Amino acid sequence: MRYREVAHTGLKVSEIGFGVWTVGTTWWGIKDEATGLRLLARAFDRGITFFDTADTYGNGYGEEILAKALGAHRRDLVIATKFGYDFYHHARQAGGGQQELPQDFSPAHVTFALEQSLKRLQTDVVDLYQLHNPRVDAIRRDDTFAALEALKRAGKIRAFGVALGPAIAERQIEEGRAAMAERRCDATQIIYNALEQMLGEPLLPIAREQGVSLMARVPHASGLLDGTVKPETTYTENDHRYHRVSTDEKKRLWQEQGLKKIEHLNFLTDGTGRTLGQAALKFVLSDPAMAAVFPNIYTDAQLDEFAATSATPDLSDDELATLTELYHHNFYLDKPALSTS
């Protein structure tokens, strides 16, 4: 495992992190606690020390299970959590996601939510405290960030950042620019992968210019880039990935075209010693502004594969250039897949 620094924070994180949403909610298919506890412990054994959770995952359960699994190793962990969805005073519908909840980024809620997270995490300090899916107006609230600065001075948090939510690209770019260039947040988390490069292209240069760190989630495009999505794959409505295929047109644009796109990616695996899942992580980590990536982890096999990524070859300049070209030409969907001969 390789470790990277989150710029200007003193935090050293495993470049492969663990997104606790897969074991802390019911949106991803893992239903039993024993599986979640095993995966978290196994991740630590594989060198993963960076864990990203949120207070709203399972109404606090995503923090509690992390403490239960790895509390004894707290000094060796970097814990990121998030705040902003007010599930404390508003009930969500059964099986619903966090988007159904109102958001609150007031100073009072910032402080209140942190105290609850500290209790659930069984710790005195959160390493990285993040606004959860904020709109740009929340990022521009002076009182919110004054409260975060006060919490940092009090030793309750070590760093703060923003985890951008799913939205149209133009809005996310505006939010990312506000977080990095206006607020100079220590870290900004984005959705970024080889098939969906629309955020990385404008935001990575800003991160480098401002000297701040980015982190990425959904590096496998919800399963297209790690082999878990097949032509016959379906999702139930309470699965977080259902929005990708909720209509025939969405399924055609994402699943069917996505599977055609990955036919062009054999050059990343043939004779390279990497799996496609590992190559996808290497792509995200290829930029020095990227501190860590959070793959979705459901099984022991996935965990072992992704944790071993650091030991595989980095993508070459030619491979990176080819990925950029493919993306800008929509992976030549009207042409045969690239030959690897």
| pLDDT of amino acid 29 | 60
Q: Give the Cα separation of 150 and 155 in Å (integer).
A: 9
Q: How many domains does the chain divide into?
A: 1
Mean pLDDT of 159-172: 91
Residue 245 has pLDDT above 60, yes or no: yes
Choose the weakest-confidence range: 56-60, 99-103, 152-156, 174-178: 99-103
Domain with 174, as residue range(s), is: 3-243+275-316
Most confident of 19-23, 149-153, 227-231: 149-153
Label residue 249 by pLDDT band (50, 70, 90).
Answer: confident
3-state DSSP assignment of residue 137:
helix
| pLDDT of amino acid 99 | 58
CB-CB neighbours of 251 under 10 Å: 16
Mean pLDDT of 146-159: 98
- Pinpoint the alpha helices (H) of 227-267: 248-251, 257-261
Residue pLDDT, tens place only, 282-313: 999 999 999 999 999 999 999 999 999 999 99
| pLDDT of amino acid 292 | 99
Residue 341 has pLDDT above 60, yes or no: no
What Rg do the C-alpha atoms of the chain give, in angstroms?
A: 19
Examine residue 47 and state whether it is found in any structural domain, yes or no: yes
Examine residue 308 and state whether it is found in any structural domain, yes or no: yes
Estimate the crossing angle of helix 142-153 against helix 107-121, to 10 degrees: 40
Work out whether the CA dihedral 35, 278, 205, 333 comes out positive or negative: negative
Share of the chain above pLDDT 70, in %: 93
Mean pLDDT of 175-185: 96
Choose the weakest-confidence range: 4-13, 22-31, 163-172, 216-225: 22-31
| pLDDT of amino acid 145 | 98
The two structure tokens encoding residue 91: 């009930």
CB-CB neighbours of 320 under 10 Å: 16
Mean pLDDT of 18-38: 86
Mean pLDDT across the chain: 92
Greater model confidence, 260 or 240? 260
Examine residue 265 and state whether it is found in any structural domain, yes or no: no
Examine residue 332 and state whether it is found in any structural domain, yes or no: no
Share of the chain above pLDDT 90, in %: 79
Global pTM reads 0.92
Label residue 16 by pLDDT band (50, 70, 90).
Answer: very high
| pLDDT of amino acid 30 | 64
3-state DSSP assignment of residue 12:
strand
Do 265 and 327 touch, CB atoms closer than 8 A?
A: no
Examine residue 263 and state whether it is found in any structural domain, yes or no: no
For residue 70, report the phi and psi dihedrals to the nearest 5 degrees. Answer: -130, 15
| C-alpha distances out from residue 195 to 50, 250, 260, Å | 25, 15, 11
Residue pLDDT, tens place only, 223-235: 999 998 888 877 7
| C-alpha distances out from residue 277 to 37, 84, 220, 301, Å | 23, 32, 7, 12
- Pinpoint the alpha helices (H) of the chain: 21-24, 33-45, 61-70, 107-121, 136-139, 142-153, 169-177, 200-210, 248-251, 257-261, 276-285, 300-307, 317-328
Examine residue 322 and state whether it is found in any structural domain, yes or no: no
Strand 157-163, strand 187-191: pairing: parallel
Residue 93 has pLDDT above 60, yes or no: no
The two structure tokens encoding residue 259: 């599977």
Q: Give the Cα separation of 280 and 87 in Å (integer).
A: 34
Examine residue 262 and state whether it is found in any structural domain, yes or no: no
Do 281 and 2 touch, CB atoms closer than 8 A?
A: no
Choose the weakest-confidence range: 60-64, 78-82, 87-91: 87-91
Residue 53 has pLDDT above 70, yes or no: yes
Mean pLDDT of 134-160: 98
Do 261 and 229 touch, CB atoms closer than 8 A?
A: no
Estimate the crossing angle of helix 300-307 against helix 276-285, to 10 degrees: 50
Estimate the crossing angle of helix 33-45 against helix 300-307, to 10 degrees: 20
User: What letter would DSSP give residue 192?
Assistant: -
Residue 118 has pLDDT above 90, yes or no: yes
Examine residue 102 and state whether it is found in any structural domain, yes or no: yes
| pLDDT of amino acid 339 | 40
CATH code of the domain in which 18 resides: 3.20.20.100
Choose the weakest-confidence range: 90-99, 176-185, 271-280: 90-99
